[in-house]
Amino acid sequence: MKEFIEFIAKQLVDEPEKVIVEETTPDEQTIALTLKVDGNDIGKVIGKKGKNVQAMRTLLTAVGAKGKHRATLEILDKD
C-alpha cells in the first residue's frame, strides 16, 4: 500500500523526489500511512475541494479491504 500511495503522489506533484510515505501499524488490523510532500505541492495532492486526497483515500480503503485491513492516510507538508 505504501508504494501505491507513493506512486500516485509522485504523479501529482512537481517535486516527486520530496515525496515520503511512512507506514505504521497501530494494531494488527490497521495500517496508518503518512504522506509528506513539499509545501508548494500540498495543494496539488489535496486537489480542489479535497477531491484528489479523497480519491486516494477511497482507493486505499479498497486495497486495504481486500487484505482485511483498515487503512488511513494523513498528509503533512515537509518542513
Q: Which residues contact 1 (CB under 8 A, 6 or more apart)?
A: 23, 31, 33, 60, 63, 64, 71
Rounded to 5 degrees, what are φ and ψ at 51?
A: -65, -40
- For the chain, 79 residues long, the average pLDDT of each consecutive 10-residue run is 93 94 92 93 93 94 90 84
What the chain holds in terms of domains, given with CATH numbers, is 2-78 (3.30.300.20)
Q: What is the DSSP letter of 17?
A: G
Is the pTM here over 0.95, yes or no? Answer: no
